A and B are shown apart, each in its own frame.
Chain A
Amino acid sequence: MQEIVIKTNKLTKRFGDFIAADQITFDVSKGEIFGFLGANGAGKTTAMRMLCGLSLPSSGEATIAGFDIYKQTEEIKKNIGYMSQKFSLYEDLTILENIRFFGGIYGLSNAQLKYKSEELLTELGLEKEAKKLVGSLPLGWKQKLSFSVAIIHEPKIVFLDEPTGGVDPLTRRQFWDLIYKASDKGITIFVTTHYMDEAEYCNRISIMVDGKIEALDSPANLKKIFQSESMDDVFYQLARGAKRSD
């Protein structure tokens, strides 16, 4: 049995009468690549915020990396990484300065920082660019760098919010190579995307519709269940009936 790193039970978030996330229940194992799909406004962002300890649920339970979502949000934050579609590094700092800064935030020692930043730069092939301003990099590189920085403190889970939006197809695949590598190291990947082909790269995916998780399985099984040729079609079948959108 694999170690469970995300465990939720009937997690719910209400904003007044509006139920943004409705009794979400799922488990994610260590090292798993978990795709979190849904139409705009289905409640993905709300759910993700709860899991990251950024907002408290209205009811239900969840543990993230073994920590309680209500009481131990600080511990949760130490054990997760986060990267959003909006590139989240400082454009006016150099690559190295960004690595040092974010590593420093997560309490890496100087020796660790030195080692880690060298490792990261070699892996991305950015050794020569280390002293360049991040703002001068092409988008694809920024996104790859941003991901590497998000896992610099070796978190148990990394949350990726549409990490590849607008990135060219080649870089998108290189980005997924990085995700696979992280997954092999035992980091759990929790990712949202609008690219249906990327959904296929996940071990398991969930599809949210109107605040509820309507489907949760491996891509292959989902296609079987919905008798579809492609994930695109599975998604369309589920989300077509959605009443809400953002």
Chain B
Amino acid sequence: MKQFFAFVRKEFAHVLRDRKTLFILFGMPVVQILIFGFALTNEVKNSKLVIVDQAKDLASQQIISRIEASRYFDIEKAVMDPAQIESAFREGKIKLALIFPANFSKDLMHLNRAQIQVIADASDPNTANMLGNYVSSIIQDQQMALNQGNKIPYTIVPEIRMLYNPQLKGAPNFVPGVMALVLMLVCVMMTAISIVREKEVGTMEILLVSPFKPLLVIISKAVPYLFLSLINVISILLLSVFVLDLPINGSVALLFAESTLFIITNLTLGIFISIRTNSQQVAMLISLMGMMLPTVLFSGFMFPIENMPLPLQIISNIVPAKWFYIIVKSIMIKGVGFAAIWKQTLVLLGMTVLLLGLSWKNFKIRLA
């Protein structure tokens, strides 16, 4: 055990003394979160919205002025027919269209129930989703204002239609995505490289010719990165909660437990890569091309998996980040508990065990 701690201490020294790498490791998630975060909020702030007011009455005017007051939209009040709206969407001139039917006020007064049609450009599902939510909440505010002191409540139903991507599936939230990406990068690449470096420099030779258990060499190499990654998880979550105002709806403890599992999965993956390669370049290339790319493509973070051809959907299942992404999204956004994500957890666990087994089997106690 003493040997193990000596080893872990040495690993920490390596990591902490390489200031440049350390800076990148801790800076990267911050920068990514901020870039994604602000790129997104910017877009939502200045979204072009067209309002077709066929009713032109008091009720519709009240809603329009509420929307005008919101900082999220840039309103064009041009009178358009459906065909014009369609082409405006296609050309990307507008992100959202709000159509008040001619009998809006009448329906509201007489039937106590009126509809507004909201059409959103869902080719960018995240933005569409947000804009739709903003409009709905504005309409709800108005509804509440109308209902004050009323016995029979008025109901305004926004009928939201998503253009191009009607189910809004895979509508991503970038925080879970960035988390998956960063953890993947830190754990897989850094572990793989740090082990292969010992092979390249020749220190592995000395360690092999010592009573120290070779497998312990490798496990102790992974320890610092586990800590490093947990720090990254914390910093990402702090940023998203306090800077980007994205709350964690579910259990924080559960989120951490799941993150730890995902980190371990990735560490074993890094270890496996390092066992199979002999140069830092190859290890880096494999972790970057072989791991980063699939993570970006198949985790559902950038591209909705449901829209992919079936073979790709099947492939996406072997990407650990996909499962982690679902888990984090479920905990952070939906706020669900373990009962809802035990399947995904089991998949990650299985992957970890499999990778450990493969590493064990492939580990060489000699050089060639």
Report A-B touching, CB under 8 Å.
no
Interface residues in chain A, defined as those with a beta carbon under 8 Å from any beta carbon in chain B:
none
Interface residues in chain B, defined as those with a beta carbon under 8 Å from any beta carbon in chain A:
none
